[in-house]
Chains A and B, each alone.
Chain A
Amino acid sequence: MTALTSAPLQEPDASGGLLEVFRRRYLLRLLVRRELRARYKSSVLGLGWSYVRPAIYFSVYFFIVGQVLGAGDKLEDFAVYLFSGMVLVNLFSDVLHSTTRSITGHAALVRKIFLPRELFPMASTLVSLVHFVPGLLILLGAGIAAGWTPSPGGLAAAAVGFAIVLLLALGVGLLLAAGNVFLRDLEQAVDVSSVVIMWSAPVIYPWTLVRDTAPAWLTDLYLINPLVTAVSLFQRGFWLPGAEAGFTFPPDLGWRALGSFVFAALVFAVGQRVFAVAQRRFGQEL
């Protein structure tokens, strides 16, 4: 048997970046499965932890901010309001957290075998999405219990909000994954920033609080944050239909959604490009 190939001579690391990841779906699937298993290795609750963690966070905010501080009196169905923003922001933070470590965590592999490096942040993101599903299911259940019925407009808003968060997280995550190879401090910085991210969007408080207390220019600045738009869209999708009138979303939410989406897509494009260039040096930096 002869095995001579007549393939053309090519650079050994000539890979199509993100496209190559889709060509190697099978490996991606195995990596996701491995990461899921590794995260919950020898833990009794296993994947159940992805229910426990958001549940605890939720309870703390609900009782302290909602009951003790009284935010719940001003917002109808405060629990649903709080949770719809929280699942989305948690997804964002979780993607950043895991993608930042995705390359350095697989240093042994990256250093020794050539694989399209985009595989690792992609696998991490998919793992985060798996963890996002339970939260989303609880949100749906709670929404329905509070009298929510799905509407096409609301679902479309939620879908756009989700897309903004995912694109933005992937873009920033690719930048962080590459950056962390050169500067390990990023891991810590990302962990610290998750609290800031949570409070920078109207998750725990209504955005009107900012409008009513902060100067106009600060409110404008606050509303530029694509996460504010994404969270508002998610609340529009899952909370508003069940709540009664008396609450307004940020002005021009449609235009803000479009702007945020374009911005997120841009960040994603830049992140992908920077990662593609930076990954050439991963082999020697790790």
Chain B
Amino acid sequence: MMEAVVVDGVTKEFRLRHARSLKDLAVRRMRRQRVAERFYALDNVSVTVRQGEAVALMGMNGSGKSTLLKMISGVMRPDRGTVRVRGRVAGLIDVGAGLHPELTGRENVFLNGAILGMSEAEIRRKFDAIVDFSGVERFLDGQVKFYSSGMFMRLAFSIAAHTEPDVFLIDEVLAVGDPPFRRKCKERIRAMRAEGRTMVIVAHDIKMLTELCDRGLMMRGGQVAYDGDVNVAGEMWREDRRARRAGRTGQAAGEPVGRPG
């Protein structure tokens, strides 16, 4: 099996800017306050995903899992290290980022399909399948802003799931939607796996992750804390959550919650 995703020694430093306007900058400079703070979202992370693997990415908020996913999708560049991917990457990163509320469902299928890298012919060929899977036929010619959040989600997932990417990235999408649709999503993901596609999934639903994936990657503070059996990673996640909850109730303010993403 060949590698599908190679993340090699990737470090990403974020600067949390306190000031953006000139006035703020000047005031902060004069008071000798810091203009920006730095922290590592990813700290020397190396991961290799082979073709056909399904990897669950776990971790608390701010552990760097979404940043890692953004690196793989190409939205962000590493400060150090390299990310390389084989074939087409597509993903559901945040719900319906590519759906435009003013356009109808039908127009969105074409626009979002094109955004995710499909050609016009490809979208036309898959149009019926996409609509059928999403179950929003009746509202196809209505503007998406009038959709319920469930319909919105279903359409977004359906478009992305039909792009036939080589590497499919899923971030926190499966949390929404009703149980029957979630079951359908899971089936679709299994079918895509059976076709040999590579998946990287971020979710807080550990039970679902352990069902869908066999490899788990647990992230803590921008580093890979564990890489192996998905059940072990899931256990570690539960531990972290317990620790965080205990920490929150134990201390008044506690440690500031890391920036999500």
Contacts and interface: CB of A to CB of B under 8 A. Distances in A.
B164 A3 contact: yes
Contacts of A9: 3, 6, 84-86
B244 to A, nearest CB: 26
A58 to B, nearest CB: 31
Interface string A96-132: 0000000000001111111100000000000000000
The residue in A41, A110, A284 that gathers the most chain B C-beta atoms within 10 A of its C-beta is: A284
Interface in B91-150: 91, 93-94, 97-98, 100, 102-103, 107, 110-111, 114-116, 119-120
A1 interface: yes
Contact of B116 (A34, A113, A280): A113
Q: How large is the interface on A (under 10, 10 to 19, 20 to 34, 35 or more residues)?
A: 35 or more
A109 B97 contact: yes
A4 B51 contact: yes
B196 A4 contact: yes
Nearest to B116: A113
A8 B4 CA distance: 9
Given A7-B166, A12-B89, A38-B102, A114 B74 contact: yes
Interface string A225-259: 00000000000000000000000000000000000
A41 B84 contact: no
A281 B17 CA distance: 14
Interface in B220-249: none
A37 interface: yes
Interface stretch (B27-35, B75-83, B176-184, B210-218): B75-83
Given A3-B164, A10-B86, A30 B196 contact: no
A10 B85 contact: yes
Interface in A172-201: 184-185
B83 A12 contact: yes
Contacts of A111: 75, 97
A24 interface: yes
A117 to B, nearest CB: 10
Contacts of B14: 284
Q: How large is the interface on B (under 10, 10 to 19, 20 to 34, 35 or more residues)?
A: 35 or more
A283 B76 contact: yes
The residue in A1, A110, A111 that gathers the most chain B C-beta atoms within 10 A of its C-beta is: A111
A12 B85 contact: yes
A26 B119 contact: yes
Contacts of A108: 97
B153 to A, nearest CB: 15
Contacts, number: 104
A114 B107 CA distance: 20
A10 to B, nearest CB: 6
A115 B84 contact: no
Contact of B115 (A1, A27, A37, A280): A27
Nearest to B164: A3
A10 B84 contact: yes
A43 interface: no
A26 B94 CA distance: 24
B59 interface: no
B172 to A, nearest CB: 12
Contacts of B87: 5, 7
Contacts of A41: 102
A34 B99 CA distance: 11
A11 interface: yes
Nearest to A281: B77
A13 interface: yes
B114 A27 contact: yes
A10 B82 CA distance: 10
A43 B103 CA distance: 15
A109 B115 contact: yes
Contacts of B203: none
Contacts of B52: 4
Contact of A26 (B89, B120, B195): B120
B162 interface: no
Given A11-B84, A113-B98, A115-B115, 13 more contacts: A3-B166, A3-B195, A5-B86, A9-B3, A9-B84, A30-B110, A30-B114, A112-B75, A112-B93, A112-B98, A113-B97, A113-B115, A114-B73
Interface of A: 1-13, 24, 26-27, 30-31, 34, 37-38, 41, 108-115, 184-185, 280-281, 283-284
Interface of B: 2-3, 6, 14, 20-22, 51-52, 70-77, 82-89, 91, 93-94, 97-98, 100, 102-103, 107, 110-111, 114-116, 119-120, 164, 166, 195-197
6 contacts: A4-B2, A5-B86, A12-B83, A13-B75, A34-B103, A110-B75
